[in-house]
């Protein structure tokens, strides 16, 4: 299995179209957000990870997402994946991220012990 995309999002929806084929509608892709108030603040942004299982590949695996601030691990999520060979699937990952100061946290995503996809999320000062 391989990661095709990993993005912080506000919403996701799926729909069937002719084929039969499925469309994934993703809204509110974001790499930063203004804090709701001054730090410290806790946020739970949704990370959407889209995976593909190539034909002839193993149909199960483990998705691991490690949230890092610099070298410090601040959260971790591990969940099983089941994807039919030749098909696609997605997982929503939600972690409580504590920000003591404004800055960037990176989500390091991988399937089994495969390559890492890194997605940054930056907390900005609140809008005054």
Q: What pLDDT is stored for residue 128 in this prediction? A: 79
Task: For 2-124, give the CATH class.
Answer: mainly beta
How many beta carbons lie within 10 A of that of residue 32, not counting itself?
12
Listed as ranges, residues in the chain with pLDDT below 70 are: none
Neighbours of 65 (CB within 10 A): 22
3-class SS of residue 37:
coil
> Which among 35, 30, 32, 33 is positioned nearest to 7, based on CA atoms?
30
Residue 127 confidence (pLDDT)? 92
pTM exceeds cut of 0.75: yes
15-26 as b/e: b if 16+ CB within 10 A: eeeeeeeeeeee
- Each residue's pLDDT tens digit, 1-10: 999 999 999 9
């Amino acid at each position: 299995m391989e990661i095709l995309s990993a993005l912080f999002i506000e919403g996701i929806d799926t729909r069937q179209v002719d084929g039969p084929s499925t469309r994934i509608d993703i809204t509110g892709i974001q790499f930063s957000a203004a804090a709701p108030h001054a730090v410290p603040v806790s946020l739970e942004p949704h990370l959407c990870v889209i995976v593909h299982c190539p034909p002839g590949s193993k149909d199960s695996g483990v998705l691991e997402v490690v949230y890092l601030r610099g070298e410090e691990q601040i959260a971790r999520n591990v969940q099983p994946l089941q994807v039919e060979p030749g098909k696609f699937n997605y997982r929503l990952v939600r972690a409580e991220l504590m920000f003591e100061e404004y800055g960037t946290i990176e989500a390091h995503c991988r399937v089994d012990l495969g390559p890492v996809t890194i997605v940054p999320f930056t907390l900005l000062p609140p809008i005054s």
